[in-house]
Amino acid sequence: MLISAQDSVSLRTKCSRNITKKPTHHFMSWFTKFLVSSIGQKFIMSLTGIFLMLFLIVHLLGNLQLLNDDGGDAFNAYTYFMTHNPLIKTISYLLYATILLHAWQGIALWQQNKASRGASRYAVNHVRSNERASRNMAWLGIVIFIFILLHMWQFWFQMKFGTLPAVEVTAYDHPVKDLFTPVAAAFSNMFYVLFYVVSMVVIAFHLWHGFWSSFQTLGLNHKKYTPLIKIVGVAYAVLIPAAFAVIPLVFYFTRA
């Protein structure tokens, strides 16, 4: 066994006693130390980001019900399910917390990093084209956050607390809230559709970098799989926001 001179002295003086030091700190000590460390803070970003990316897939599957030309039958059944299933309701609270944590931690990192760069800035900056998304994650995130707030106000709040009329759907033997009508109305508004599509482009940029980055942050890189992760990341970043954006465009151009 290799021991340093310093350690060997202390070992010698202690050898009649227990060599292993008694833990002097409890759970919160090492755990909070990890969470506030640079890598720990990024760990939080990565895990919350991955959770949000998984959520986007589920959310998209729901939204795609809007494309059924059934006057909202499938979509309204879906929204009823999502707001009444206890498991989904629990997960949705976790989701709200995750969004807040991701946004809070992201802004905190942004501010800390600005401080690390210092007060004096370079006169000349060289930005490679592949760095445009990664250098602007916080700005992209802030736009996404504004989108989420507006989106929640417009649809989530209406669903939870608004006075939506009830309609019959084939999936249930009782009437459910008709969220389809306000959604269809919003999607016939040019400004809303434009805002929606622009927001999806912003999410695409956020995830163009974020998908791969979240793996890198967790230390999940591998000569064999990292190239694949990067390809899947780009595909995800383009296809998921594009699929979201198609829905209001279809409504605006074919149903209005």
User: What character string, x for contact with ligand HEM (CB under 6 A) and - otherwise, covers 9-28?
Assistant: --------------------
Binding test (CB under 6 A) with ligand HEM, winner from 66, 206, 208, 241: 206
Residues 48-87 that bind another protein (CB under 8 A): none
Three-state SS for the chain is CCCCHHHHHHHHHHCCCCCCCCCCCCHHHHHHHHHHCHHHHHHHHHHHHHHHHHHHHHHHHHHHHHHCCCCCHHHHHHHHHHHHCHHHHHHHHHHHHHHHHHHHHHHHHHHHHHHHHCCCCCCCCCCCHHHCCHHHHHHHHHHHHHHHHHHHHHHHHHHHHCCCCEECCCCCCCCEECCHHHHHHHCCCHHHHHHHHHHHHHHHHHHHHHHHHHHHHCCCCCCCCHHHHHHHHHHHHHHHHHHHHHHHHHHHHHHC
With CB under 6 A as the contact rule, which of the stretches 24-32, 140-148, 150-158, 173-181 interacts with ligand HEM?
140-148
Interacting partner of 102 out of ligand HEM, another protein, none (Cβ under 5 to 8 A depending on kind): ligand HEM
**Minimum separation from the CB atom of position 102 to ligand HEM (A):** 5
With CB under 6 A as the contact rule, which of the stretches 17-25, 83-91, 136-144, 174-182 interacts with ligand HEM?
136-144
Q: Check: CB of residue 199 under 8 Å from CB of residue 241.
A: no
As a whole number of angstroms, the distance between CA 68 and CA 250 comes to 11
Chain CA centroid to CA 252, Å: 27
User: What character string, x for contact with ligand HEM (CB under 6 A) and - otherwise, covers 32-71?
Assistant: ----------x--xx--x--xx--x---------------
As a whole number of angstroms, the distance between CA 176 and CA 195 comes to 29
Binding test (CB under 6 A) with ligand HEM, winner from 141, 233, 241, 248: 141
As a whole number of angstroms, the distance between CA 8 and CA 21 comes to 15
Interacting partner of 135 out of another protein, ligand HEM, none (Cβ under 5 to 8 A depending on kind): another protein
In the complex with ligand HEM, which residue's Cβ is closer, 46 or 76?
46
In the complex with another protein, which residue's Cβ is closer, 29 or 170?
29
**Minimum separation from the CB atom of position 200 to ligand HEM (A):** 10
The neighbouring-strand residues paired with 176 are 167
In the complex with another protein, which residue's Cβ is closer, 100 or 220?
220
Q: Tell me which residues touch another protein (CB under 8 A).
A: 1-4, 23-26, 29-30, 33-34, 37-43, 109, 112-113, 115-118, 120-126, 128, 130-131, 134-135, 137, 209, 212-213, 216-221, 223, 226
Q: Tell me which residues touch ligand HEM (CB under 6 A).
A: 42, 45-46, 49, 52-53, 56, 102-103, 106-107, 109-110, 137-138, 141-142, 144-145, 203, 206, 210-211, 213-214, 217
